[in-house]
Amino acid sequence: MPAKVTIDQDECTGCGICYEDECPDVFMEADDGNSILKEMYQKGDKSVGEIPDNLVECAKKAEDACPASAIKVE
């Protein structure tokens, strides 16, 4: 069952931990430096989407490592 991932753009600081260190398979850098989901996982919004089961663990590591608590994995 896929997991829902949301990035709160108001909280994201663009530190890059999620897309550079923890989970580059799911997250990427947007033009403004903030984090967005890779296109294949986006669901109508660059900050909201679904990821397959095999990427949930790495997305949760990014959620835990995010200093702004901007990432939510459900």
Question: pLDDT band at 33, cuts 50/70/90?
Answer: very high
Domain that includes residue 51, residue range = 3-73
Q: Does 4 have pLDDT greater than 90?
A: yes
Which CATH number does the domain housing residue 65 bear?
3.30.70.20
Name residues whose C-beta falls within 8 Å of residue 10's C-beta, 6 or more positions apart in sequence: none
Counting the structural domains of the chain, the total is 1
Residue with tokens 């919004």: 45
Residue pair 72/5 in contact by the 8 Å Cβ criterion: yes
Distance between CA atoms of 58 and 50, rounded to whole angstroms?
14
pLDDT score, position 1: 78
For residue 26, is pLDDT > 90?
yes
Helix (H/G/I), strand (E/B), else coil: 57: helix
Please tell me the pTM assigned to this model.
Answer: 0.96
